[in-house]
Amino acid sequence: MKKQIMDLRVTLSERVGAQCTLLKAKPVEGHLPECKPGQFAQLRVDDSGTFLRRPISIHDVEGDEISFLVQEVGKGTHWLCSLKEGDILNVVLPLGNGFTIKTQGTPLLIGGGVGVAPLLFLGKRLKEQGVKPTFLLGARTKAQLVRLDAFREVGEVLITTEDGSEGERGFVTQHSQLSMFNGRQCSIVYTCGPMPMMKAVAKMAREKGIECEASLENRMACGVGACLCCVEELADGHNHCVCTDGPVFSTAELKIDN
Amino acid sequence: MASLSVKIGALELRNPVMTASGTFGYGLEFQDFVDLSRLGGIVVKGTTLHPREGNPYPRMAETASGMLNCVGLQNKGVDYFCKDIYPKVKDLPTNVIVNVSGSTIDDYVETARRIGELESIPAIELNISCPNVRQGGMAFGVTCEGASSVVRAVRKAYPKTLIVKLSPNVTDIAEIARAVEAEGADSVSLINTLMGMAIDAEKRKRILSIGTGGLSGPAVKPVALRMVYQVARAVKIPVIGLGGIMTATDAIEFLLAGATAIEVGTANFIDPSVTMKVVEGIEAYLERHGFQSVSDIIGALEE
Ligand SMILES: Cc1cc2nc3c(=O)[nH]c(=O)nc-3n(C[C@H](O)[C@H](O)[C@H](O)COP(=O)(O)OP(=O)(O)OC[C@H]3O[C@@H](n4cnc5c(N)ncnc54)[C@H](O)[C@@H]3O)c2cc1C
Ligand SMILES: Cc1cc2nc3c(=O)[nH]c(=O)nc-3n(C[C@H](O)[C@H](O)[C@H](O)COP(=O)(O)O)c2cc1C
Ligand code: FES
């Protein structure tokens, strides 16, 4: 899959939830290259206060239209969240490996915070392959749950919030329905979100004997495997590039599960 | 059309634009973005005698107009390079130069010797200026004696084009340049990164895992230009200039300051195809000013 640098034109910029913006965009010229769920793009931020590109997951692809779900946490994401319809956004994509698409059994997709971003695209592709994904989405509070309607169009949606303002109260790994998922009918757990959540999910999956893949968000500079800034030390004791060997890893390879 | 070719020792470059070590992988990572046959050369990752895991994460901090890194020469060692990487890069349509680093003089010599046996690697860049490793690295590059001793030893073991990469973390870089020239270096490249630090005020912690890192990007360009200017006047061997080059104009400034060739580093992270724009921009500049050859602008500052 050839990586490309391209200008996109923003087709939609919509505030969703308390801190996120949903951006949709199309290539100014030509077509979007083929992208896989779990892959990401490096977004150019044209603000004098930042220097590097910002890695953002591919949230959805429909034809030549790509979506990103961006949470405002600093200058770069503030600039991205301030983009307006018609603005130009320069991206490098598609980057990284992506999730393994498994077509047997029921997949469980567990996301926390803005970590839900790559799971929509993943869920859609799984559904196209004829499997019925279940989403388990967690947040601190109701206002941080985003894109629920979009997720509900793709599969069943289970929710936890830490304050109980929506769905069940607690963490994702405490959801009552999880007892229904075991190694027999659940083929794989995919997770993306804060590290403590992914750790808990990895542990749960291991205890249930279910395969688990997690998407990491290490800080990046190049995004293409050249600078070695983004490394994660895996269970094999070696440093691996998250931008090329990841961002998706089997949790069995990660130290979080050990 | 103006001639763009330049010579560094025995090395012929089709144009003065190369890529900086540690910022362009082995070139293969950039094949989707760059026509490698249009580059003067690529300097691949820092290679050491033994495999190195590098420093722990986090290794990078963004700064005003630049970044700090403390990668710490992560690489799989020279044997791996010879066996697994060399077959993939030996037929790349450009000069592939290996950046050689070490903790001891013997390490440098042995690594250089093994790289010297590889037919399609016409030159090495001796890195005596890495600020991110505890032993060796920059320690050799900050004194004339240290620099001389490594270059003297490597020169005996390495017959091809020997470029020595200098550290800016010194009081008088021209003095170091003269010292390595005297030991037989064919060229010097500068600058490596400037030692720096980043602090997270909220967490009251240093951001990088080892506390300090090397600063690169446009933030260092004025320092790099000044040093290239000084060194070009102090030595007779060709100087390769780098540090913060983001555009063709930046590159031309280095050539005017006296560099025979330039390397593009951190800019590759922002625009992976930037080197192509730098080549085109130099071409256009020569055309616009009516120069026949890029050598006409090397060190050609008006008083
Ligand atoms: C593969 C990948 C996919 C991602 N996908 C998304 C996505 O879909 N949506 C989204 O909103 N974000 C995503 N992120 C995270 C996003 O890249 C960062 O939030 C963004 O780069 C922060 O930029 P900023 O300029 O706004 O913040 P900065 O000003 O750089 O930082 C703001 C604060 O966040 C901290 N911080 C910044 N980056 C990181 C990091 N990588 N790890 C830990 N702390 C950090 C800083 O220390 C600081 O406290 C992804 C990251 C990766 C690596
Ligand atoms: C992530 C990173 C890794 C680097 N690794 C090396 C290296 O292995 N060997 C070396 O000689 N220089 C290394 N450098 C230094 C660059 O080659 C270059 O000297 C420096 O970054 C200044 O140029 P720039 O501002 O154009 O990046 C590295 C720089 C960066 C940013
Ligand atoms: S971000 Fe440069 S190697 Fe991963």
Residue-range domain boundaries for chain B = 6-297
C-alpha of residue A240 to centroid of ligand 3, in Å? 10
Within this chain, do residues A122 and A74 fall inside the same structural domain, yes or no? no
State whether A52 and B30 contact (CB < 8 Å): no
Within this chain, do residues A163 and A112 fall inside the same structural domain, yes or no? yes
Torsion over CA of A137, A142, A144 and A147, rounded to 10 degrees? 60
Confidence class for position A257, pLDDT limits 50, 70, 90: low
Within this chain, do residues A149 and A204 fall inside the same structural domain, yes or no? yes
CB-CB: which of B32, B33, B67 is closest to A52? B67
CATH of the domain at A147: 3.40.50.80
Residues of A in contact with B33 (CB under 8 A): 3, 5
Within this chain, do residues A154 and A115 fall inside the same structural domain, yes or no? yes
Within this chain, do residues A112 and A160 fall inside the same structural domain, yes or no? yes
Within this chain, do residues A21 and A67 fall inside the same structural domain, yes or no? yes
Residue with CA at minimum distance from ligand 2 atom 28: B22
Ligand 2 test: best mutation among B100, B126, B193, most atoms within 8 Å of CB?
A: B193
B53 touches chain A (CB under 8 A): yes
Last residue of a domain, one of A199, A215, A231: A215
DSSP structural state of residue B10: T
Tens of pLDDT, residues B85-114: 999 999 999 999 999 999 999 999 999 999
State whether A51 and B54 contact (CB < 8 Å): no
Q: Which residues contact B303 (CB under 8 A, 6 or more apart)?
A: none
Angle, helices B144-157 vs B105-116, to 10°: value is: 30
B258, two tokens? 């006296």
Residue B108 phi/psi, 5-degree rounding, is -60, -45
A225 touches chain B (CB under 8 A): yes
Q: Would you state the pLDDT for residue B139? A: 80
- Mode of pairing for the β-strands spanning B239-242 and A20-27: unpaired
Confidence class for position B246, pLDDT limits 50, 70, 90: very high
Q: Return the sign of the alpha-carbon dihedral for residues B33, A250, A183, A112.
A: negative
Distance between CA atoms of residues A72 and A16, nearest Å: 11
Does A102 fall in a domain?
no
Q: Which residues contact B58 (CB under 8 A, 6 or more apart)?
A: A219, B207, B208, B209
Q: Which CATH architecture has domain B6-297?
A: Alpha-Beta Barrel (3.20)
Within this chain, do residues A158 and A231 fall inside the same structural domain, yes or no? no
Last residue of a domain, one of A47, A68, A95: A95
Does A8 fall in a domain?
yes
End-to-end CA distance of chain B: 28
Within this chain, do residues A89 and A123 fall inside the same structural domain, yes or no? no
Residue whose C-alpha is closest to residue B95's, from B57, B44, B164 = B44
A186, two tokens? 């659940």
Angle, helices B248-257 vs B274-289, to 10°: value is: 60
Q: Return the sign of the alpha-carbon dihedral for residues B1, B6, B12, B15.
A: negative
Percent of chain B at pLDDT exceeding 90? 94
ipTM surpasses 0.90: yes
Does A101 fall in a domain?
no
Q: Which residues contact B251 (CB under 8 A, 6 or more apart)?
A: B16, B17, B245, B262, B264, B278, B281, B282
A113, two tokens? 């915070």
Residue B135 has pLDDT above 70, yes or no: no
Q: Would you state the pLDDT for residue A182? A: 82
Confidence class for position A47, pLDDT limits 50, 70, 90: confident
Distance of CA A194 to the CA centre of its chain: 11
Within this chain, do residues A192 and A127 fall inside the same structural domain, yes or no? yes
- What is the pTM assigned to this prediction? 0.96
Does A118 fall in a domain?
yes
Number of domains in chain A: 3
A74, two tokens? 């600093």
C-alpha of residue A248 to centroid of ligand 2, in Å? 27
Which residue range(s) make up the domain with A65?
A: 4-95
Q: Which residues contact A197 (CB under 8 A, 6 or more apart)?
A: A110, A112, A115, A138, A171, A172, A173, A191
Last residue of a domain, one of A71, A95, A119: A95
Distance between CA atoms of residues A145 and A34, nearest Å: 28
Within this chain, do residues A55 and A136 fall inside the same structural domain, yes or no? no
Tens of pLDDT, residues A102-154: 988 889 999 999 999 999 999 999 999 999 999 999 999 999 999 999 999 99
Tens of pLDDT, residues A99-116: 999 988 889 999 999 999
Residue B136 has pLDDT above 70, yes or no: no
Does A19 fall in a domain?
yes
Residue A78 has pLDDT above 80, yes or no: yes
Within this chain, do residues A114 and A203 fall inside the same structural domain, yes or no? yes
Distance between CA atoms of residues A11 and A92, nearest Å: 18
Average pLDDT of the residues in B195-211: 97
CATH of the domain at A70: 2.40.30.10
Residue ranges of the alpha helices (H) in chain B? 77-80, 86-89, 105-116, 138-141, 144-157, 173-182, 221-234, 248-257, 267-270, 274-289
Largest CA distance in chain A: 53
Average pLDDT of the residues in B190-204: 97
State whether B57 and A227 contact (CB < 8 Å): no
State whether B268 and A226 contact (CB < 8 Å): yes
Does A62 fall in a domain?
yes
Within this chain, do residues A34 and A77 fall inside the same structural domain, yes or no? yes
Residue whose C-alpha is closest to residue A258's, from A241, A225, A236, A230 = A236
Distance between CA atoms of residues B185 and B235, nearest Å: 11
B213 touches chain A (CB under 8 A): no
